[in-house]
């Protein structure tokens, strides 16, 4: 299922600063911290904590937020269902990026390990003979 043009426009114009407190509330209810939320956002966007705070204060839209971001090259590894959409099938770039972020926040709230959330390659231990 693909988001409608109206839905995409709504996502693009939604203010990051109005959604961030919802993300924070979601993860804190599950025992996670603001630092962990920011770590996830930093991994996806390459924004440091000061930049995240500044973008919240500037009240930027998701369109502007992601236009300024340098998306992690491993973001394409984010797959699965979020808000009724299969992330890997979303064609619109803004909608896809917003859903990437939603998916990462959801995984954090569900207690997934940071290593898995950040799509770090599994390290294979060398067998000692």
What is the spatial distance between Cα 19 and Cα 93, in angstroms, rounded to a whole number?
Answer: 19
In a domain, 112, yes or no: yes
- Alpha-carbon torsion 91, 73, 66, 34, what sign? positive
In a domain, 122, yes or no: no
Domains contained in the chain, number: 1
The pTM of this model reads: 0.88
- Residue 56 lies in domain: 5-117
In CATH, what number is assigned to the domain containing residue 48?
1.10.8.290
In a domain, 90, yes or no: yes
Mean pLDDT throughout 94-109?
Answer: 96
Mean pLDDT of the chain: 91
The torsion angle over the Cα atoms of residues 91, 63, 75 and 8, rounded to 10 degrees, is -30
pLDDT over threshold 60, residue 32: yes
pLDDT over threshold 60, residue 23: yes
> pLDDT-based confidence at 122, cuts 50/70/90?
low
């Amino acid at each position: 299922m693909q988001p409608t043009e109206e839905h995409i426009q709504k996502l693009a114009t939604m203010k990051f600063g109005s959604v961030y407190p919802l993300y924070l509330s979601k993860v804190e209810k599950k025992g996670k911290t603001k630092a962990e939320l920011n770590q996830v956002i930093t991994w996806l966007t390459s924004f440091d904590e000061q930049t995240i705070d500044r973008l919240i204060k500037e009240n930027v839209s998701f369109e502007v937020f992601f236009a300024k971001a340098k998306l992690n090259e491993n973001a394409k590894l984010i797959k699965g269902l979020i808000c009724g959409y299969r992330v890997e099938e979303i064609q619109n770039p803004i909608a896809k990026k917003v859903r990437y972020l939603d998916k990462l926040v959801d995984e954090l709230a569900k207690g997934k390990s940071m290593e898995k959330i950040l799509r770090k390659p599994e390290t294979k231990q060398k067998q000692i003979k």
